[in-house]
A and B are shown apart, each in its own frame.
Chain A
Amino acid sequence: MNPGAALTLYVMSAATVLALVLAVVPLPATWRRLPEWVGFGGIVATLAIAVAQWGERQVGFSGELQIDRFSLLLTWIILPAALAVILFSWGEPAAAGRRPEFVGLVLAAATGMMLTVMSGDLITLFIGIELLSVSLYILCAIEVARERSLESGLKYLITGSIGTAILIYGFALLYGVAGTTSLSGITERLATVDGLASQPLLVAAIVLIVVALGFKASAVPFHMWTPDVYQGAPTPVTAFMGTGTKVAAMGAFLLVFTGATHQVSGDWRALIGALAVATMVVGNVGALAQQNVKRMLAWSSVAQAGYLLIGVAVGTMAGAAALTYYLFAYVAMTLAAFAIVILREREVEAGDTLVAFTGFGRARPWAGVVMTLALLSLAGFPPLAGFVGKFLLFGSAVDAGMSWLAIVGALASVVSVVYYLRVVIVMWSPRPEGTRPERRLRVPLSVASVAVAGAVAVVALAIWAQPLLDLCTDAARALMIP
């Protein structure tokens, strides 16, 4: 027992509780930024600990938690995403009055995401997924006066809890097969007992877990909720759902499949591969017709989940490493894109529609450049990080003898160029003659810094792809050790 192993979780939980206490304590007006600073400080401190902990596996709570290179690397993605959400909502008028709750729930959700990727046991994995889901249900509906926010929260809650119920049943059946809830115990059991593969109970467990995690990762055909929930939720929350939840869901996929049940990968490789193909095709086609940038990004996040699932479907260490690299790239480019949408939303009414972006790039060239870089990277243009990530993912599929995944992925990427480039073209085209000059707000430093950091990361992750890929390979190796 190593009490220091879970230090990151202790610090995050303490910051969560502190932020929530501030919700009931009356604060003097001069301290009104205190909740944000608590969130900021908590996340930065946790990130520092997570960087310092990098090394061999440490086990906490007799195997319930596994802090190793895999979970720490994913924590390095989750925490900056949470920090970006705090910065997005810094001083945002819409969240005024319930700032402490907002910060507390973001911290709680981030803690859940970390717990998910650090779990060494089905019970911990379940608690992590639920902590993040339940916090996000409330965050979606936090603007209670706005009907769309409530609608988004209720829809997410209902679909999310159906996913939860299916997840529990899948975990119960897996427990029935293995006789233990520990992930390493399941690996041992599957390795020692012959003839477990293709057992009906095990196959049913795998199908149910794939369906349930598909709900959480918004994979087709369990994606129906994604566009409505993403569009209705406050945009900073949407950005968090699009990045943090995706990282946690993919982490759970990797832990359960590539990690714990890799001996029976014959039972699940084709299933997850089919899910990846459906997700890539439907996500990209669905995004084509969207006239609302937020909704387009929701469909694009469905499509991106498809590319990410390739890294799970191949079931190899190279696949897990490529997936981890792509998560870094995906989070950077998505946060940059959402930062620009948030800027536009604050400036004009209905700022998330495509029309509202006409001429935005000419009015604010730096924002135009950030959005262009983010969208080109999402579409997979070389030499940006999104291209490197897709290249690695498709390469791992070819190496694993699943070239059909790479072919569908490449074709889907070609389709995606249409809707990503459309936003870029609209941004850089002149505003129509005779339109009134619109009011210009001073750009909030907090949002601008996330936008610029995301755009810089999209380029930097491509330049230093090799060192990062080495880290990702270390992470994948840690994942495969039982």
Chain B
Amino acid sequence: MSVPIGAYLALSVALLVLGLIGVMRRRNPLMLLLSVELMLNAGNVALIGFSRQWDDPSGQVFALVVMVVAAAEVVIGLGLTVSVFRSRTNLDVDELSSMRG
């Protein structure tokens, strides 16, 4: 039994919207990174759905590449967050504002 493409798309749009809401509402860099992960995985779900629809493997290859890149991004994001955390105790991106204008 195969899952229709509409179901893949519905799931991925739901994940994308959740991620976008998170990016807009959360101010903690860790939560922001988590929300971005949701958005990236929304893209992965869509890629794999279309890969099934077209019976073409390159969509799955793309999804694997996205996972690797997402991991690299999170590693750097966590590293930077820890460095910022060391220099200040309160984690809030709205307070990252020594520069303005």
Q: Mark A residues whose CB is within 8 Å of B.
A: 122-123, 126-127, 130, 134, 137-138, 141, 144, 147-148, 150-151, 153-155, 157-158, 161-162, 164-166, 168-169, 171-173, 175-176, 179-181, 227-228, 231-232, 289-290, 295
Contacts and interface: CB of A to CB of B under 8 A. Distances in A.
Contact of B46 (A134, A154, A166, A173): A173
Contact-residue size bin, chain B (C-beta under 8 Å from the other chain): 35 or more
A147 B69 CA distance: 27
Contacts of A295: 99, 101
A147 B99 contact: no
A295 B29 CA distance: 25
A162 B73 CA distance: 11
B39 A175 contact: no
A158 B93 contact: yes
Interface string B50-64: 100110101101100
Given A127-B65, A157-B77, A176-B46, 12 more contacts: A123-B58, A123-B62, A158-B29, A161-B36, A162-B39, A164-B40, A165-B43, A171-B43, A175-B62, A179-B50, A179-B54, A289-B101
Contact of B42 (A164, A169, A175, A228): A169
A150 B58 contact: no
B80 A153 contact: yes
Contacts of B46: 169, 172-173, 176
B24 to A, nearest CB: 10
Q: Chain B binding site: helix, strand, loop or mixed by DSSP?
A: helix
Nearest to A154: B80
Nearest to A127: B65
A172 B47 CA distance: 5
Contacts, number: 128
Nearest to B69: A130
A175 B47 contact: yes
Given A169-B43, A181-B59, A134 B72 contact: yes
Contacts of B83: 141, 144, 150
Contacts of B54: 179-180
Given A153-B80, A157-B73, A175 B98 contact: no
Interface in B78-94: 80-81, 83-84, 87, 93
Given A154-B29, A165-B36, A123 B61 contact: yes
A171 B62 contact: yes
A148 B99 contact: yes
Contact of A180 (B23, B36, B58, B84): B58
B43 A168 contact: yes
Contact of A126 (B29, B69, B84): B69
24 contacts: A123-B62, A127-B69, A130-B72, A134-B69, A134-B72, A134-B76, A137-B80, A147-B98, A154-B81, A158-B77, A161-B36, A161-B73, A165-B39, A168-B39, A169-B43, A169-B46, A171-B62, A175-B62, A179-B54, A180-B56, A181-B58, A227-B99, A289-B101, A295-B99
Nearest to B88: A147
Contact of B40 (A137, A165, A175): A165
Contacts of B29: 154, 158
Given A158-B32, A164-B40, A123 B65 contact: yes
Nearest to A152: B99
A150 B84 contact: yes
A254 to B, nearest CB: 21
B72 A175 contact: no
B96 interface: yes
